[in-house]
Amino acid sequence: MTSTQRPEAEDKATPESAQAAALHTGTSNLRTLVTRNLRQSGIYVAFVVIVALFAIMTDGVLLSPGNITNIVLQYSYILVLAIGMVIVIIAGHIDLSVGSVVALTGAVSAVLVIQQGYTWWVGIIAALVVGVAVGAWQGFWVAYIGIPAFIVTLAGMLLFRGLTLQVLDNISLSPFPSEYQRVANGFLNGLIGGQGYDAFTLLIGAVAVAGYAVSGFRTRVARIRYNQPVESFPLFIARVVAVGAVIMYFAWQLAHARGLPIVLIILGVLVLTYSVVTKRTVFGRQVYAIGGNLSAAMLSGVRVRTVNFWIFVNMGLLSAVAGVIYSSRSNGAQPAAGNMFELDAIAAAFIGGAAVTGGVGTVVGAMVGGLIMAVMSNGMQLMGVDQSIQSVVKGLVLLLAVAFDIYNKRRAGTSR
Amino acid sequence: MNDTILEMRGITKTFPGVTALEDVALVVRRGEIHAICGENGAGKSTLMKVLSGVHPAGSYDGEIVYDGETVAFNGIRDSESMGIVIIHQELALVPYLSVAENIFLGNERRGRGGLIDWNRANAEAASLLSSVGLVENPVTPVIQLGVGKQQLVEIAKALSKEVRLLILDEPTAALNDTDSAHLLDLLRRLRDQGITCIMISHKLGEITEIADSITVLRDGRTVETLAMDSGDVTQERIIRGMVGRDLESFYPDRTSDPGEEVLRIEDWTVWHPTQNRKVVDGAALNVRAGEVVGIAGLMGAGRTELAMSVFGRSYGRDITGRLFVRGREVKARSVAEAIEHGIAYATEDRKRYGLNLIEDVRHNVSAAALGKLSRRGWVNGNEEIKIAEESRRDLNIRTSSVMTAVGKLSGGNQQKVVLSKWLFADADVLILDEPTRGIDVGAKFEIYTIINRLVAAGKAVIVISSELPELLGVCDRIYTLAAGRITGEVPVGEATQEHLMELMTKDKERVG
């Protein structure tokens, strides 16, 4: 039994007093707010702690402008994959093939651009088309034939790795023309000048902060208008200030290095788009419904097959985006490209709070999960920790993250 | 003292933020059938979990005296070793294992070298089965048995553990009347063999029939213990204890004024999805606006199958027959199409098929009609909150917020969320499958009131129920279904339980 307010009392309340009550609930229940969102807020706290820890252990090198830029460039493709993966996982599936798809799409692009001499964007478009085709293939087997995604994508992992070898004829291709390389290694710098730092990067940072504040405020106003509980106003301000400070610090550091990485713009657009898609569109909501209770979704008229199909098409598309970024960054295509990427993407989604049983997870959570992995890898590399130890640590973090999730769920289950 | 097998004293159990049990007392005499009644959330199941060691000693306050000594169980194994066995409402059988394997699960009959002696196990299982009156081969996989027989397997399993105090949580909730009667008979026989029985049940009819004493719980406290041998304990008396007030009437009054026909099916035949037999055979029925039509049938008669096959062919294969909505023939080939035609089906199993328990009230209410809230694929979140709040107010859904996960609500409030979902989907015909299963008396009354309001607003409602009094209480007309065939159509004024039961058992031979 949760403690429930008496509904009759609420009905009689005037809008003003209800509003006040709503505000009041927010203030007085900071603790419940925190505990209820522990699952979500927990990873943010963990992220901050991990960043602080490695910043100290690397004598601040971790947060140096050059290194921050490096982290962005180095892990962007994993984050792109994690966006698609968290959607797959929310729907209760898994995709083990994304590493192979990264390799295949990169290879197709490389063959066209490097071997055949097509211009750079032909390669990109071809990669995206291949990615969508791969997604449609896997979506067909999962959605319409009803084979578990684990099997379909395990087969896909072998299948697309084999096709990569075929396409590349077992050799590496290199180098890409400079336009293609700019996708992953290019920067927007000096567009509107600056003294020793890039004003444009700071401007984009400021716009992002403003956007975050405005959209947060609008949601809040709407919630209050509909008498929904919200966090207290000081808490809201504190949250906006904290997030704003982090973004601006990040932008400031980037501005002092090489400016705004193009890949960060791509990533930012994708994160924004998919956050909205998962939260605010019918498609997104149906993904959560399918993962939360498949039968109930079916009996509520959700076209489960169609939704599942498009989930995999989307995963294929994002794998192709990651394939382009990776091939651009490594300046070529290799038969072994993208090996084990799927595991990093899956780990990012789970560390970011996605539930093993489906129905729970967020794009932003997966991004933070991916960044936790990224900061740990990068930090340990800076400290010169052996590869073997790095692997052990990452494995343990994944395990603990999911254990924490399960512990939380159990606690939530008994407390009612 | 020898007369008492179990005494629980001053049991207090708190969960973070909630007190589930407060100073509860329970005294059970040896060799009696002791019923525990109370609304959902009164603390019945928690009390049994304390008794059986699911909540280990130390996690609660109070004292348990069993067979003259104070006991402290740290788990279900401890209590079982003392002969206390609990059978939960959701049966704990492994579907693909055989009857014998299930009976001796965790308690295997070992032979030489620690290997399982299957001959001995099967032989012992057979004798246990005969003692519960179940004629089945012990090597039959449990999945091939009906719920009633599975229940008997659970009891055989309890007997194999040399049970002295058997606890049954809602044993007849999923059973039809024949199976229920059989089970109650068995409990009487066990009592005569000296096995004490504690039974939790919502079905007051069977409690008054079988129990020797009744303990009533309300809001985590013991209200009273009634001895049945005094002879003046009626269902109304028990209900008064449970709800703390007299229900003027079980069923709210309604004036019936049916309008035009909304839904009709003709010659509706459905085949079992995997087996070669007809589940529904040539059924025909109709329902008019402002009318409540009941479907009565025993377990396995094809009630749910009929409903789900009409609801966008969500059950069965090779469905033939004609479906008319407002006089026009329609082909509802998918759930989405059925919803478009204004048909809604609220399942008998809310938690598995009706709701997304980890999502909040808001998202569950809008789940079947997101299209209404969206433009070009974008959901209007504010409008959604408004709709959810309206539903909460109109149907009196008790929750602190529409952002609360549905899994945290009580059964009655979950059912109201299901109804809200279909009301928001603009359903003209609501097929309600066991709408009050697992719901306490007060919430049942609310559900009936909602049904009345729906028909008053011109909706057509079909109610499927195992409880005949419920059908008699809420319907205008009742169809009886037996072995997939409609065997009768009775206006409620002419219907009696006996008459309906006769029609429901009319056609016993296998169809197809």
Q: Look at residue B215 and tell me whether its pLDDT is greater than 90.
A: yes
User: How far is B23 from B21, CA to CA, in rounded Å?
Assistant: 7
Residue A208: inside a domain: no
Sign of the dihedral through C-alpha B183, B188, B194, B196: positive
**Which pLDDT does position A10 carry in this prediction?**
36
Tally the domains of chain A: 1
ipTM of the prediction: 0.78
By C-alpha distance, which of A74, A78, A88, A136 is closest to A338? A78
pLDDT digits (tens, 9 = 90+) for B76-93: 889 988 999 999 877 788
Mean per-residue pLDDT, B301-315: 90
pLDDT band at A18; cut points 50, 70, 90: very low
Residue A55 forms part of a structural domain? yes
Domains and CATH numbers, chain B: 4-243 (3.40.50.300), 260-342+429-439+460-512 (3.40.50.300), 350-426 (no CATH)
Three-state DSSP at B167 gives strand
Could you tell me the pLDDT band of residue A282, with boundaries at 50, 70 and 90? very high
Mean pLDDT of the B375-389 span: 89
Residue A83's pLDDT band (cuts 50, 70, 90): very high
Nearest CA in chain A to B313: A299
- Note the pTM of the prediction, 2 decimals: 0.77
pLDDT bucket at A12, cuts 50 / 70 / 90: very low
Residue A311, domain member (yes or no) = yes
pLDDT at A4 exceeding the cut of 80: no
List, edge to edge, every strand of the sheet that includes B292-297: B343-346, B429-433, B460-465, B292-297, B477-482, B485-491
CATH code at A70?
1.10.3470
Edge-to-edge strand list for the sheet holding B278-288: B278-288, B261-271, B317-325, B328-329
Residues on chain B touching A226 (C-beta within 8 angstroms) = 382, 385-386, 389
In angstroms, the separation between the Cα of residue A188 and the nearest Cα of chain B is 33
pLDDT value for B320? 92
A358 inside domain: yes
Kindly give the pairing relationship between strand B4-15 and strand B18-29: antiparallel
Assess whether pLDDT exceeds 50 at residue A6. Answer: no
Model pLDDT for residues B11-69, shown as the tens digit of each residue = 999 876 567 899 999 999 999 999 998 876 678 888 999 999 889 988 899 999 998 89
Contacts of B16 in chain A (CB under 8 A): 414-415
In this complex, do A300 and B335 lie within 8 Å of one another by their Cβ atoms? yes
- Residue A291 falls inside a structural domain: yes
| pLDDT at residue number A370 | 94
CA A95 from chain centre, in angstroms, equals 15
Q: Spell out which residues of chain B touch residue A229, defining contact as CB-CB under 8 Å.
A: 401, 403
Please state whether B390 falls in left (phi above 0), alpha (psi between -120 and 50) or beta.
alpha
A120: closest CA among A73, A56, A183, A36? A183
- Say if strands A187-188 and A260-261 run parallel, antiparallel, or are unpaired: antiparallel
Is residue A13 one of the residues assigned to a domain?
no
Query: Are B109 and B138 in contact, with CB atoms under 8 Å apart?
Result: no
Measure CA of the first residue to CA of the last residue in chain A; give whole Å: 5
Could you list the residue range(s) of the whole structural domain that residue A130 is in? 37-189+258-410
pLDDT value of residue A3: 40
**What is the Cβ-side half-sphere exposure of residue A22, based on CA atoms within 13 angstroms?**
21
Structure confidence at residue B181 as a pLDDT band (50, 70, 90):
confident
Whether A112 maps to a domain, the answer reads: yes
Any residues with CB less than 8 A from the CB of B193 and at least 6 apart, and which? Answer: none
Asked whether residue B346 carries a pLDDT value surpassing 90, the answer given is yes
- N- to C-terminal Cα separation, chain B: 60
Residue B63: strand, helix, or coil: strand
CA of B430 vs chain A CAs: smallest distance (Å): 13
- Please indicate if any CB of chain B lies within 8 Å of the CB of A415: yes
Q: What pLDDT was estimated at residue A39?
A: 54
Distances, alpha carbon A187 to alpha carbons A177, A255, A259, B60, B429, in Å: 16, 10, 6, 64, 61
**Alpha carbon of residue B288 to chain centroid:** 28
Run of H or E including A1: none
> Are residues A7 and B381, on separate chains, in Cβ contact within 8 Å?
no
CB pairs under 8 A between A and B: 123
B379:A3 CB<8 A: no
Q: Which of B339, B358, B398 sits opposite A292 (nearest CB)?
A: B358
Q: Cβ contact (<8 Å) for A299 and B311?
A: yes
The reply to whether residue B353 touches residue A296, judged by beta carbons under 8 angstroms, is yes
Token pair of A15 as six digits: 């809008």
User: Which of B339, B401, B414 should one mutate to test binding to chain A, selecting the residue with the greatest count of A CBs within 10 A?
Assistant: B401
Kindly calculate the radius of gyration of chain A based on its CA atoms and give it in whole angstroms. 23
Higher pLDDT among residues A336 and A407, named by residue: A336
Alpha helices in A117-198 (DSSP H): 120-139, 149-168, 178-185
**What is the share, in percent, of chain B residues with pLDDT greater than 70?**
95
C-alpha to C-alpha distance for B157 and B173, rounded to whole angstroms: 19
- B417 and B346 in contact (C-beta within 8 Å)? no
Instruction: Judge whether residue B196 has pLDDT over 70.
Output: yes
A355 neighbourhood in chain B, CB within 8 Å: 358
- Pull the structure tokens for residue B369: 């009609």
Any domain includes A210: no
Residue B303 has pLDDT above 80, yes or no: yes
| Res B76: pLDDT | 87
